[in-house]
Amino acid sequence: MTKLGLLNSVWNKVLTTVLPAQCVGCGVSGTYLCDDCLASALWLEEPQCEMCAEPGVASPCSRCRLRPLAVDGTVAVFVMDGVIRKAVHQLKYRNLRALAPILGRPMADALTQRGVAVDALIPIPMHPRQLRSRGYNQAALLAKEVGTRLEVPVEQAYLRRQRWSGPQVATADYDSRWANVAYAFQCDANVQGKSLMLVDDVMTTGSTMHSAANALKEAGAAQVWALALAREV
Ligand SMILES: [Zn+2]
Ligand SMILES: [Zn+2]
């Protein structure tokens, strides 16, 4: 861990020890996200595209028919909105790592419900530069939580980010997002014949998942699925 990462980690400990936990949704104390707020969040429901998890459409959706994702399917739990948007922001930018166990639980449940069994979970890696400044990868925190709950190993080393693609929020339009992450990932591990699950906090167009899945399939993976906490719609 870098100095900054270590400092972040210590600061996170201090914050979560000294300050009482407060729900990011309603402010009730004792938890970082209460059961009521989680229950009233916008859960992704059927009908939805099984490839990219876009809600309210037939499967596969028109976009996936036109440009199929390299994933075998996507499992997403929430619509990126309301309390979930707040929680992701806190987890990602405000160092509130204590949210990961709370958010990982419904992700694990969703996988069980969909009945997808995989050999390993792979968090979407951050670029080393980005990782150094944040100190942690929120996707890895979520993957760890899901892995523990489902007893599936997390293999961070299976995928490497080989190119700085800049923050996705800065490249808004659809085509530039795709161009931006194409060939961003590299797999040097032996994944021959394996069934794998990519894990990320937020999925927008699916371009990141697509690019990561491509790298794994080129390396011989038999199946690559995508799991996201939230889906931008
Ligand atoms: Zn609440
Ligand atoms: Zn789709």
Any idea what the CATH number is for the domain that residue 184 is in? 3.40.50
| 88: in domain | no
Residue 61 is predicted with a pLDDT of 96
pLDDT in tens, 166-186: 555 555 676 777 777 777 899
pLDDT mean across residues, the chain:
91
3-state SS class at 199: strand
Does the residue 134 lie in any domain?
A: yes
HSE, CB side, 13 Å, CA atoms: give it for residue 231: 26
Residues of the chain with pLDDT under 70: 1-2, 5, 12-13, 15-18, 163-172, 174
How many other CB atoms are there within 10 angstroms of residue 108's CB atom?
19
Chain centre distance of CA 203: 7
In a domain, 90, yes or no: no
Identity at 18, one-letter amino acid code: V
Q: Is residue 16 part of a domain?
A: no
Q: What is the domain range of residue 218? A: 43-82+105-231
Ligand 1 mean position, distance from CA 193 (Å): 43
Query: What global pTM score does this model have?
Result: 0.89
Amino acid 94: pLDDT: 85
In a domain, 149, yes or no: yes
User: Ligand 2 centroid vs 198 CA: distance in angstroms?
Assistant: 17
Look up residue 172 and give its two tokens.
């808004």
Query: 144 C-alpha vs ligand 1 centroid, how far in Å?
Result: 24
Instruction: Report the separation in Å between the CA atom of 23 and the middle of ligand 1, taken as the mean of its atom positions.
Output: 5
Which residues are close to ligand 2, an ion, with C-beta < 5 A?
A: 49, 51-52, 54, 61, 64
Q: How many domains does the chain have?
A: 1
Query: 1 lies in a domain?
Result: no
Report the separation in Å between the CA atom of 74 and the middle of ligand 2, taken as the mean of its atom positions.
9
Residue 128 lies in a domain: yes
Would residue 94 count as lying in a domain? no
